[in-house]
A and B are shown apart, each in its own frame.
Chain A
Amino acid sequence: MTMVGDTKNMDARRPVYLDYQATTPCDPRVVDAMLPYFTEKFGNPHSRNHAYGWEAEEAVEQARGEVAAIIGADAKEIVFTSGATESNNLALKGAARFHKDRKDHLITVVTEHKCVLDSCRHLEQEGFAVTYLPVKSNGLIDPEALAAAITERTVLVSVMAVNNEIGVIQPLAEIGRLCRRAGVFFHTDAAQAVGKMPLDVNAMNIDLMSISGHKIYGPKGIGALYVRRRPRVRLQALINGGGQERGMRSGTLPAPLIVGMGEACRIARIEMADEADRLRRLHDRLLTGVQQRLPDVYLNGDCEQRIPGNLNLSFAFVEGEGLMMGIKGIAVSSGSACTSASLEPSYVLRALGVDAEMAHTSLRIGLGRYTTEADIDYAVDHIVGAVSRLRELSPLWEMHLEGIDIKSIQWAEH
């Protein structure tokens, strides 16, 4: 099997994959674990009456245990969904609608994933009030601001554990403590955190947690929602039907995908510490490599409170999409407007207070399990080369070298 990090295959025109926040390849061990459940052990896990059902159910329950183990939960507290987007929808809408008569206020953060923000907008249309907390320039929330925003009508606080664009880690334990004291539910979208940093739902006082399969070398199309049982968190289901997953999520459980997710969690739990060390070294190698050869490169997001597998870098005076075109040998993503459907730059970077022009200059680089040192060195060369070339083409770089303050110019926007 060709691993994505095969640097020697670069001439075969497949770029080096450095977009691990977007998705991850399945670990081969995950695929091996899944395969029997497609054609041999293909039974419906809810078929109570025969061995086909029993063997599928047994595999699902074992996987459920693995998902619970990696976050310090009980297996009974894991509900399988189609992914973190569904989990986020279920957590927010499910909790809000269940408690609507007594509580109608939610708190979240401006840098959350679109599915959280959009679910909140939707709930606002249903009559709920939502507070969107700002973040500091390092991307972290101010716990005091959160405490001040909580009212007796607040049902839930939703703060993502690790941000998908800039990789910063929010102060989960502190947020959990605040919420527990105030008697509000704490939900965290942990899609980018599970398997990358230690998580403990009890130590951190987390009541709801969204988990994504395809961010941890598992298959796409599967996720989970952790739902605390003690004290019990009640949710109104989004999907009605046969009452599977304790009534919280009807539908036949996709045994192969769940087995894959379980295996992914098992592997991540065992290899997490070593992998984090390795990624930290690669992260530092990339950052140092680039900053040593290029001036005016900025890391977005707190430099300490972050997962090592993410670097969001702004290259002043060079536009992000133009840069991406020049680094076809590596697969990354950009915080530039051009690469999103609208012409607005990344809302996450803007929330950090990054100027619009700097937001247009950023690249998000994601490292992962199959990234090698050779990949990093290649990426550094490639990026340095492209940025240098584009700075030669850039009127802003020219002005900068001439000592002109770009902010002082009156631009005629059209």
Chain B
Amino acid sequence: MSYSEKVIDHYERPRNVGSFKTDDSDVGTGLVGAPACGDVMKLQIRVGAGGIIEDAKFKTFGCGSAIASSSLVTEWVKGKTLDEAANIKNTEIAQHLALPPVKIHCSVLAEDAIKAAISDYKKKHGA
């Protein structure tokens, strides 16, 4: 399995590793995947004024491509509105990281994670 430089970069120097308090009202948490599949991503967003994502954090149980996909996503969502973030496509993630076909599902899971985090935030705010 040869990894692209970008995947290796995110693996060696992951961005935004960590956790927000799940209970905080401005935090949305997405937990997707399953240990039995070898892929679990926890993605959290902190949403500020005007519905802009101010900060994001992730933790991932998975291969290098999964770690890279979720790390990348935390970079991409910062500064975006919830709607803009929800529009991030797994194909964009896969292309940026040059994921081989057998690893495309990692980018799909990252897209799911964003959507799950946004959905969680919206639920907290009566949506």
Contact = CB atoms under 8 A, between A and B. Distances in A.
Interface of A: 317-322, 325-326, 336-339, 343, 345, 355-357, 360, 392-398, 406, 411-414
Interface string B1-19: 1010000100100100101
18 contacts: A317-B61, A318-B61, A319-B61, A319-B62, A319-B63, A321-B38, A336-B63, A338-B63, A343-B37, A357-B36, A360-B35, A393-B59, A393-B60, A395-B61, A396-B35, A398-B42, A411-B36, A411-B40
B36 to A, nearest CB: 4
B109 A414 contact: yes
Counting chain B CB atoms within 10 Å of each CB, which of A325, A326, A339, A343 scores highest? Answer: A325
Counting chain B CB atoms within 10 Å of each CB, which of A320, A360, A393, A398 scores highest? Answer: A393
A326 B67 CA distance: 12
A208 to B, nearest CB: 37
Interface stretch (B26-34, B48-56, B78-86, B91-99): B26-34
Contacts of B112: 414
A413 B38 contact: no
Nearest to A317: B61
Contacts of A395: 31, 40-42, 59-61
A337 B3 CA distance: 17
Nearest to B116: A412
Contacts, number: 92
Nearest to B62: A319
B108 interface: yes
B36 A322 contact: no
Query: 10 shortest A-B CB distances, which residue pairs?
Result: A357-B35, A411-B34, A356-B36, A360-B38, A321-B63, A395-B42, A395-B59, A413-B34, A325-B64, A338-B63
B38 A345 contact: yes
Given A318-B61, A357-B36, A360-B35, 18 more contacts: A322-B61, A322-B66, A325-B3, A325-B64, A337-B37, A338-B38, A343-B37, A356-B36, A394-B59, A394-B60, A395-B41, A395-B61, A398-B42, A411-B33, A411-B40, A413-B33, A413-B36, A414-B33
Contacts of A411: 33-36, 40
A354 to B, nearest CB: 11
Given A393-B14, A393-B17, A414-B109, A322 B34 contact: no
A357 B66 CA distance: 15
B64 A322 contact: yes
A337 B61 contact: no
Secondary structure of the B side of the interface? Answer: mixed
A370 B112 CA distance: 47
Contact of B38 (A343, A393, A412): A343
B6 to A, nearest CB: 14
B121 to A, nearest CB: 17
Nearest to B36: A356
A196 B32 CA distance: 45
B3 to A, nearest CB: 7
Contacts of B62: 319, 322
Contacts of B41: 395
A38 to B, nearest CB: 34
A392 B17 contact: yes
A393 B33 contact: no
Contact of A357 (B38, B59, B63): B38
Contacts of B66: 319, 322
A320 B66 CA distance: 12
Interface in B94-127: 105, 108-109, 112
Given A318-B61, A321-B63, A393-B60, A412 B34 contact: yes
B61 A394 contact: yes
Counting chain B CB atoms within 10 Å of each CB, which of A320, A322, A326, A394 scores highest? Answer: A322
A397 B40 CA distance: 11
A396 B109 contact: no
Counting chain A CB atoms within 10 Å of each CB, which of B3, B31, B108 scores highest? Answer: B31
